[in-house]
Structure 1
Amino acid sequence: MHRSPSPQPGSVLTRVTIDGTPDYEAVVDPTNRWNGFVSPYFTLDTVRQLAAETVEWADESDYDCSDTIHVIDGGTDIDGAPRVVVLHIHWTYFQDEGPEQVTSIISPREDGLYCIGGWEWTWSITTWECACTRWDYHETDRCPNCGDERPSAELTA
């Protein structure tokens, strides 16, 4: 069963992308920007999807200019909750800095969401084009101009 993340006050449930990559469901605070880009938070299921895709992208570039995300499962804790470690490896700096300096552990915040690439990657909120030619951010359900509904890629909230 897929559960959508619940936005915190000031945040919205939307979809994000980097330069035409597939878009991902995320929670963002649209005012929390780094060089104009958003810092999204993802469910663990989405982090797993991102992890698989970042490894594919890195394989294609021989790890020369890619970061990878890795999800390592470690069974369950005493309460039966899954034990998970999420790693971010910055391969671009490996040669100069070594493995200790290019590896980061990403911990979830209280609501269980993980910030992947926040304040580092060029994440943008996905937009959609209405038939009336107005562009809107993905979390907008209806076009403010003509009232038409957002096409496809519906969120599961």
Structure 2
Amino acid sequence: MSLICKSEEILEIAGQETALYTLDSSQIIFKIDHEKIVFDVNTISNLRCLKKRDFSANIALLFCIIAAYCFVKDYFTISVPNNLLLVLTTIVSAVVLISIKRYTYVLYVNTNDLHYRKLKIHKKDIYYALHLVGLFKSGYLQKI
């Protein structure tokens, strides 16, 4: 879709319905986790879509690896080659665990009264969220 808007395109956008949202005449209705959240288009001052990395699983697994290393090292008699193998195995597994990436996606809706709403969206809805942010940034939503 081009960034140049014609009057026919404005009418098509006004009735647009996606898996994430529905554009009504002057409202955006978000459908997130079986909940409907309604915003008036005129009260929205900014839309942002952010991708945040979630380190909680990485940190938990890293502590489990370190605890397992301490358990094995303290309770078993290990020779020097076996100790070196244990240290290398622990380091490699820790690096692999840190490289695992999990993300959460958040759509921030800022309003004119200096409030914002944080909407957690699923990975499958990222395309629709970015499309909506693009419509807002280009000025389409203000013309509806």
| TM-score, L = length of structure 1 | 0.28
| TM-score, L = length of structure 2 | 0.30
* Structure exhibiting the larger radius of gyration computed from Cα positions: 2
Which has the larger strand fraction? Answer: 1
Which has the larger helix fraction? Answer: 2
